Amino acid sequence: MLKCYSIVIMSVCLTFNVLASGDSQRWQIKAVTAISFPGLEVLADGKFKPGSAYNYRAIIDCMEHQLNADFVWQQFPTARLVHVTVKHQFDVIFPMGYTPERSKLLQPSDYLVQEQDYWAYLRPQPDWQNKQLNIAVKQASPQAEWLAQQGYQNIHQVNDYKQLLPLLRAGRVEAISVPGAVAAEYQKAAIEGLALSGYYQREAGFYLNPGFAAEYLPQFNQAVRQCRHLAVLDLPE
């Protein structure tokens, strides 16, 4: 019998008891996702809304089937996702783009999608080599991290993706930087005068709490590979 001596690791120990016993009982994975991510909504029953970007609902349904588990979701601002998971309050974050800084603290799963980052701007196209450009981006996003690493000096961070386009239209910034799922929403809306240009590709998928990953990473990655084919998004050219 597995005994747990620390409240901090209790959720991991309890989960392991279910798996190790060979019991057919479904187990729970405590998961978090970002508030206000376009096309992603957690319904009252704790499931993702069908028809979301990248077929997130179908992906999670597939993962639950492969793992014989139920994901139990909570939503937080993007800036808090890593913190609450590192502190062992949750097992996984999804969806999330992989970055070197995040991967120092959390364990990425095998990639689920090859994510594309985009510039969105009103013509004419800005000079992307100009590090003094005024650029708006979602706070604590992979795009914000990349811009800082590339030496851009005027990065305006906002709390919600919905705040980005109004800044651009008002002329307060010359461009905004968004992930592919947001760019796809812009393309679908056919926003007059808005141009999109892909500039960086990164892998994305699940980030796992290190304690959770130490026990379950192989079977979790196997499930990701089985469900990867469901991750489809019509990205802008």
Q: Which residues of the chain have pLDDT under 50?
A: 1-23
Residues 20 and 119 in one domain: no
Residues 109 and 148 in one domain: no
Dist. CA 142–CA 179, nearest whole Å? 8
Query: Is 179 a member of any domain?
Result: yes
Query: Is 235 a member of any domain?
Result: no
Residues 182 and 210 in one domain: no
Provide the domain limits for residue 133: 114-202
Residues 13 and 130 in one domain: no
Residue linked to tokens 């019509």:
234
Q: What is the pLDDT of residue 213?
A: 97
Omega before residue 95 within 30° of 0, cis: yes
- For the whole prediction, is pTM greater than 0.95? no
Q: What is the pLDDT of residue 237?
A: 65
Q: What is the pLDDT of residue 21?
A: 40
Q: What is the pLDDT of residue 51?
A: 67
Q: What is the pLDDT of residue 184?
A: 87
